[in-house]
Amino acid sequence: MKKIAVYNGSFDPVTNGHLDIIERAAKTFDILYVTVAIHPTKVGLFTIEQRKELLKKATAHLKNVIVDSTDELFMDYVKKVNGQVLIRGLRSTTDFDYELQYAQSNQYLNSQIEIMYLMTKPSHSFISSSVVKEIASYHKPLTGLVPECVEDALKKVYQDQ
């Protein structure tokens, strides 16, 4: 039986912190779904399709990664793709309170699916999509914060501002 996991997030945009978690999870599981969460009330900087395309480019070197999107509850989505594990990333202790509540509510929804937390490398612990977008809006370099394809996409978004 193949070990299948799902790593979900908004990925608006994908950062090197996300990529760190993706690469490590891809080594652990036979198949890793990297899935963009669609929230109908949230408007991102990038469209869902743009986020998926950036994720595909950033993970092209990982042959067992499948990029997808869903507006379903994630425990339903994990079950639909025959996953056994939902991957979550932690940057610091400030993420822990939210993630604890998230894990407990997801375990309530489906206790058969495990939730695995991976800590980002210390060098990525300060990186968030929000911070990256703010830095990019001031036309500052993003070297080391995001994959090159994301830096290029952000430059295009903010070039006229």
Indicate which residues carry an active-site annotation.
18, 42, 91, 129
The token duo for 2 is 């193949």
Measuring CA to CA, how many Å separate 132 from each of 20, 74, 117, 137, 142? 16, 25, 23, 9, 7
Start-end of H helices in the chain: 16-28, 48-58, 74-80, 93-109, 129-137, 148-158
DSSP secondary-structure letter at 141? -
